[in-house]
Structure 1
Amino acid sequence: MVEIFVLSHKKIDHLKRLIQNEYLYINVLSNLGIKQKRSVKNALWEVHEVSTRDTTALMQKFNLPEILARVMAARGVTLDTANDFLHPFLRSSLPDPFHLLDMDKAINRIETAIYNNENIVIFGDYDVDGATSSALIKRYLATVGINVAIYIPDRVKEGYGPNTDALLKLRKNGTHLCITVDCGTVAHEPIIAAKNAGLDIIVIDHHLGTEKLPDAVAVINPNRIDEDSPYSYLAAVGVAFLFIVALNKTLRNKGFFSKIAEPDLMQLLDLVALGTVCDVMPIIGLNRALVHQGLKIMSMRKNTGLRILSDILEITERPSVYQLGFIIGPHINAGGRIGQSHFGAHLLSTDNSDEAYDLSLKLKILNDERKTLENEATKEALMQAETLVNSGVNFIMVTGSWHMGIIGIIAGRLKDQFYLPTIVISISHEIGKASARSIPGIDIGAVIFLAKLEGLITEGGGHHMAGGFSIEKDKIDKLHTFFQSKFINSTGNKTIKADGVITVSSINITLWKQLQCLEPFGAGNPEPRFIISGAKIVKPEIIGENHIRCFIADTDKTIRAMAFRAVGTELEKALMQNSLVTILGKISVNYWRGNENVQFLIEDALND
């Protein structure tokens, strides 16, 4: 690990003169024996240590600026993988979808349903991954002349995944085939009941399951226990895309498109990108290609719902991972959290502008209500969490009577602040509904799976970084004891990795544009972070509810900076002193009235 130290202003000036044309001063910093410090967020900073040989090789072969080659090398990009990283096209990344177990069975069954004009219903989860997966399949089938319905269960009344009452009702209403998306892998009893009633089920999912598979026609899931697919990192919408690729290929080979135009599957990638980003899947390999191409499709604004929602939210910049994850995604999610669960899926699948406008307005109102509920509940949960952390726990588990739709957000907030696996339980009528978030190295989905095997929870599931479950109130203490043994390796010691140390003077539009060559950013390919040592903070002020705007300067240049959600934190104290601070953050561009202005987004700080 390369340690980061606080530099005196004389040494910073000396470094500028020594390396005037370089952005990064990593090697010089690593040799300075000055006292190491924790940040105001109680984190240790670490600069990626990168081989000079690897960096030089990437620079020479691909004609890259030094900063891009260094960042790529830090992310494990090699000479063999660099071309796909820089040019993530589907034609080189897309696998044969039939490599997934049961894909052939699923395609045979839906092909029969198409030719026999059977009634098909898509049963989706109520989050963004479920909404995009549902809309993706519905939109594809509509292009080949097949109209299907979407069913999204109510989060409070029905809970997660297929339930017996809903499936039997679908069968009673004439449904022959039900395709579950982003759920179904552990729905053993409901699927058996559906089968006995004559309703066939195809499961398309990505969550962990047990060795026993549900009694469905097909279970397509790269995370099946018996599956050896290398694409375990796909979101459910990514798996759903492979499903329609397989179906489209089969229909083409059988002459289905001799009389109608073959659908352009690329036009559906905006939905794949949205679901992948919002489910926080790693932006690597196939996901990187899906998101990269999906953002391009989204910029064409062909999806009626996405276009109208973006207009209502006054999104004017080109689509980005940030917009998907932090602006569009939360609004799509709002219906499933505190409103009507089907709003998101219906918005993404409709071509009716009036319906899309109505749904977009409702989702915006619901998201505003969600923010109010979230702020109040987070304060209560934070008080519990602080007491637990002060007692030296290795995970956080808090309980309350909060709205079920916001406990996942609260879990994420607490996890980010304390860097510990976090479980938030909402209790009503002696039953707790929980949402969990984890940190790298702690597989929360696997722990939930083990808790279910122990009989501590009634139902639940998840993946490495997130999960959820239901539990009887009188078993919460036993579950707490169980978690204590499973989270023993969780220390709460957070390390923030930076890609280098730069000066204010080196930050400009050119540098920002160079870094954009590494997009799309996200889990597995984080947006580059940099350290500015001895930055002078000028004119700090609070804007909005909890943000800080200021300027940062050195002897040669001044640029604008922002620190989001900083009010009431130690970061606010560091910045409002109007003095010299060592800061960590990202280079960004602010668009205002047609102008591009470079800025620095401050995430953490060390007091000089």
Structure 2
Amino acid sequence: MLLGIEKRSITNALWKLQEADQREILTLTQRFELPEILARTLVSRGVNVENVSDFLYPLIRSLLPDPFHLLDMDKAIFRIIQAIKNGENIAIFGDYDVDGATSSALINRYLKTIGMYSIIYIPDRVDEGYGLNVDALLQLKRKGIDLCIAVDCGTLAYQPIEDAKNFGLDIIVIDHHLGTERLPSAVAVVNPNRLDESSPYNNLAAVGVSFLLIVALNKSLREQGFFTDKREPDLFDLLDLVALGTVCDVMQITGLNRAFVLQGLKVMSARKNAGLRVLFDALGILEKPSVSRLGFNIGPCINAGGRIGEASLGARLLSTDDEEEAHSIALKLIDLNNARKMIENEAFLEATTQVAKSVKSNTNFIMVSGNWHQGIIGIIASRLKEQFHLPAIVISFNNGIGKASCRSIPGVDIGAAILSAKFINLIIEGGGHSMAAGFSIKEDRINDLHDFFTERLANSINDKSLKADGVVTVKAINLSLWNQLQRLEPFGVGNPEPRFIIQGAKIRKPEVVGVDHIRCFIADDNVMVKAIAFRSANTHLGSALMQGNVEAILGKISMNYWNGNEFIQFLIEDVLTIN
């Protein structure tokens, strides 16, 4: 059988068919009346008879932990309630990415529903950099702010928080980034990734931690009789923001996150958030919200303000209830995102040229640098990681200082590596988590950093493999199969969209569409299905498709929505070629 032979694909990947115990497959098909292909996919990703119900029907109420199990949650809630009772002024200080925007908007909207006014402050990526800074905090204090809630940042902001404490501004940190043994002198540091934290919920995005904060706050207010003469907020109405932040920060879509995203997509479908509703309409998205739409369409627009424009636009869009204001912000974000794409494509071409000159067969990571816009280096790092299947470090220099974004592959903890580099004073500042991180560095330390990563990642394994959930025929790729696979949603890290292999089929009528996509048909036994390979023109994959030199095809089954119509198609990711 073809799959029993180890053979490199056109992208130099090894295909691996996911293993699944046949007895467990049979048990699921019989006891839960599941199709064999669905049961096989479930078993291959660790779902069994004991947890299949939680996987297929995840309920927040059964999966949500007591938020007070997190260290310092009690301190954070005590201080916030004190601020509410005393009528103090509250600011929410968020990161400039989607996780920061959704976290900021989430807490802002909750406080608004209970009658508390709060402002949101998002720092400028270029002028202020990541996270808390003294100048901004001092500015907030002078405006009368008594309490600042830092979201998606703050765990490593030792000096800014110490300075804020000295001039009378209390800080609460709500974060999920990796910490060190030292904690900042904040009122509370609520972070499942604190080194002294034993919480199993270390895969939450900052917006997930922020949701636990408002669950704890709402519970405490209820117990203190706060809602005796007023309506208690429905916290589920805010899960659209939790879903958006979780997906766009590329968190594991398993366990509690899976429940957050699934329920959040349902809330999003109800179109209660004015900003999201207007943005969906402005982008012409007619179908129901999905993880892919959030990741590829909505998220990049929310991010665009923080990348190359006004950093606060995303948080403002998600916080407003004013339809006219939402429309104005949405159009600005769409324009900024289009401009971002142009800047990104130019920088990516320069970066890949550098990589082509430097990457050797035994290279375990990529490091490139240039005078690129700081707002797009994270995207460049992601694209390089995907293309070369290596940890990617992209550095933008300005006046002798480099700002870097890093993206990693499974098995290589880039966040821990950055913290180690900081510990030995190789970089100025830095932090992150296992799959994504960032740092700043003096230009004259770049060679030393390269040597550090060369040694640190010397034994890392980066052999590219693509896992498939099964083998299908062209005839089997239809609406019925697609509908069955949707029962596995939401997809994401930890629960990837199922991949399948088609053997022995032929490529028909290949053509380049758009800028660099290849559209074609896959044919077998007089049956054909539409297919597309994104960004494949001018690649080895694209050449194989254009020549029809294909022995087997690997990819995903998807629904294409176009001009109000919908049809099943196969997304081609890789092929085995005929010798």
TM-score (norm 1): 0.94
Does 1:257 find its partner at 2:232? no
Of 162, 166, 174 in structure 1, the residue corresponding to residue 132 of structure 2 is 162
CA distance in 2, matches of 1:184, 1:159: 13
Match of 1:45 in 2: 15
How do 1:38-437 and structure 2 match up within 5 A? Answer: 38-390=8-360, 392-437=362-407
The SS at the match of 2:359 is helix
**Structure 1: gaps of 5 or more residues:** 6-28
CA distance in 2, matches of 1:579, 1:259: 72
Structure 1 residue 556 displacement after superposition: 3.6
The SS at the match of 1:256 is coil
Equivalent position amino acid for 2:449 in 1 = L
The SS at the match of 1:390 is coil
The SS at the match of 2:227 is helix
Question: CA 1:101–1:371 in 2, change beyond 3 Å: closer, same or farther?
Answer: same
CA distance in 2, matches of 1:475, 1:328: 37
Does 1:603 find its partner at 2:573? yes
Equivalent position amino acid for 1:584 in 2 = L
Match of 1:531 in 2: 501
Structure 1 residue 49 displacement after superposition: 1.1
The SS at the match of 1:367 is helix
Contact 1:574 1:581 in 2 (8 A): no
CA distance in 1, matches of 2:446, 2:503: 47
The SS at the match of 1:210 is coil
Equivalent position amino acid for 1:599 in 2 = Q
Equivalent position amino acid for 1:294 in 2 = G
Match of 2:510 in 1: 540
Does 1:573 find its partner at 2:539? no
The SS at the match of 2:346 is helix
Question: CA 1:36–1:309 in 2, change beyond 3 Å: closer, same or farther?
Answer: same
CA distance in 2, matches of 1:229, 1:257: 30
Contact 2:414 2:434 in 1 (8 A): yes
CA distance in 2, matches of 1:508, 1:337: 40
Structure 1 residue 327 displacement after superposition: 0.6
How do 1:492-503 and structure 2 match up within 5 A? Answer: 492-503=462-473
CA distance in 1, matches of 2:517, 2:345: 15
Contact 1:418 1:492 in 2 (8 A): no
Match of 1:519 in 2: 489
Equivalent position amino acid for 2:49 in 1 = L
Q: Deviations over 1:147-196 (max 9, x none)?
A: 10000000001000000111111111110000000000000000000000
The SS at the match of 1:146 is coil
After superposition, the CA RMSD in angstroms is: 1.1
CA distance in 1, matches of 2:23, 2:361: 47
Contact 1:102 1:219 in 2 (8 A): yes
Does 1:469 find its partner at 2:439? yes
**Structure 2: gaps of 5 or more residues:** none
Structure 1 residue 81 displacement after superposition: 1.2
Q: How many residues of Structure 1 are paired with residues of Structure 2 in the alignment?
A: 578
Structure 1 residue 398 displacement after superposition: 0.7
Contact 1:194 1:200 in 2 (8 A): yes
CA distance in 1, matches of 2:127, 2:23: 58
Equivalent position amino acid for 1:326 in 2 = F
Structure 1 residue 484 displacement after superposition: 1.1
Q: Deviations over 1:473-523 (max 9, x none)?
A: 111111111111111233431000000111101111000000000000000
Q: Deviations over 1:93-143 (max 9, x none)?
A: 101000000000000000010111100000000000000000000000000
Contact 1:531 1:585 in 2 (8 A): yes
57-66 or 77-86, which deviates more: 57-66
CA distance in 2, matches of 1:312, 1:594: 16
CA distance in 2, matches of 1:276, 1:504: 34
Structure 1's consecutive aligned runs of 4 or more residues displaced over 3 angstroms after TM superposition are: 578-581, 592-596
Equivalent position amino acid for 2:398 in 1 = S
CA distance in 2, matches of 1:174, 1:594: 51
Match of 1:559 in 2: 529
Contact 1:420 1:490 in 2 (8 A): no
Question: CA 1:155–1:61 in 2, change beyond 3 Å: closer, same or farther?
Answer: same
Equivalent position amino acid for 2:472 in 1 = I
Equivalent position amino acid for 1:95 in 2 = P
The SS at the match of 1:276 is helix
Equivalent position amino acid for 2:21 in 1 = S
CA distance in 1, matches of 2:34, 2:331: 45
Contact 2:407 2:437 in 1 (8 A): yes
CA distance in 2, matches of 1:594, 1:130: 34
Match of 2:412 in 1: 442
Equivalent position amino acid for 1:370 in 2 = R
TM-score (norm 2): 0.98
Structure 1 residue 581 displacement after superposition: 3.9
Match of 1:11 in 2: none
Q: Deviations over 1:236-257 (max 9, x none)?
A: 0000000000000011111111
Contact 1:538 1:579 in 2 (8 A): no
Contact 1:273 1:291 in 2 (8 A): yes
CA distance in 1, matches of 2:146, 2:129: 23
Contact 2:411 2:461 in 1 (8 A): no
Contact 2:158 2:183 in 1 (8 A): yes
Contact 1:68 1:514 in 2 (8 A): yes
The SS at the match of 1:586 is strand
Equivalent position amino acid for 1:373 in 2 = I
Contact 1:539 1:578 in 2 (8 A): no
The SS at the match of 1:219 is strand
The SS at the match of 1:273 is helix
